[in-house]
Amino acid sequence: MKFKRSACIEPLYSEIPFLDRFQAAKDDGFECVEFWGWTDKDLDATKAAAEAAGVTICGFNGDADLNLIDPSQRKDYLAYLRRSVAAAQKIGAKAVTIHSNGLGDGGVVINPHEELSDTVRICAMYETLKECAKIAEDSGIRMNLEGLNITTDHVGNFLKYTQMSAELIRMVDSPMLKVLYDVYHMQLNEGCIGDTIKQYCDTFGHIHVADAPGRHEPGTGEINYSYVFKALEENGYDGVIGYELFPLTTTAEAVKAIMAVN
């Protein structure tokens, strides 16, 4: 099975202007694109660039520096999320990505909230996710909950294992709230990719790909992506594969590796 491919056009195609990246991704064989933040983008120009290139916008990050785990932030988090949903509707994006913790420049965790117990953080996340699901259902914009690695890129992030992500999604039980399973992040945190896919694939709404270590294209690290894609197919995943990775050398070389594996 050939999965639809999405290029994350923040780390990929960084050598050319942002608005030119939509056509470049289409020319290279990507059906979709995604990016990180939206507040620094010209939304009208972004929509026009995607439409001109004929690519779908899968999504972008919906929560900025706010978080799910601090109950005192719930009102502000949901208000910002509604703004993100409005932006997604404006440009025709299908989903927004949400996280347990607020992220700053370079993905640095702003506050791990270690003063809060795990009980408070989990319960706060669950209660806010129920509200996120309502917003998603009302708007038609799906929410994808992403766990992040705590070894290399996002030290202090609370949501770090697929089990917690998947169990929260199952408890909320909304077709518009899913897990963003990032193979790179989860290889660093937990490994056991095949078993994880088998156990939790029904909760996956989007997949992110990069090899580990290094966060480069498939074939530069230890992850057997031919096996990963086969496991996803065998367990019923039929969504998009998003390539959120930093080219080892150039985007052109990274694209060759991407197209070879899927």
pLDDT for 99-116, tens place per residue?
Answer: 999 999 989 999 999 999
Class of domain 4-261: alpha beta
Q: What is the pLDDT of residue 111?
A: 93
Among positive and negative, which fits the CA dihedral 258, 259, 260, 262?
Answer: positive
Closest CA to 147 of 194, 196, 80, 114: 196
The backbone region for 17, taken as left when phi is positive above 0, alpha when psi lies in -120 to 50, beta otherwise, is beta
Does 213 sit behind a cis peptide bond, omega within 30 degrees of 0 on the bond before it? yes
Q: What is the pLDDT of residue 249?
A: 98
Q: What is the pTM of this model?
A: 0.97
* pLDDT over 70 percentage in the chain: 100
Per 3-state DSSP, the chain is made up of helix, strand and coil in percentages (nearest 5) of 45, 15, 40
Q: Is the pLDDT of residue 1 over 80?
A: no
* Whole-number Å distance between alpha carbons of 134 and 132: 5
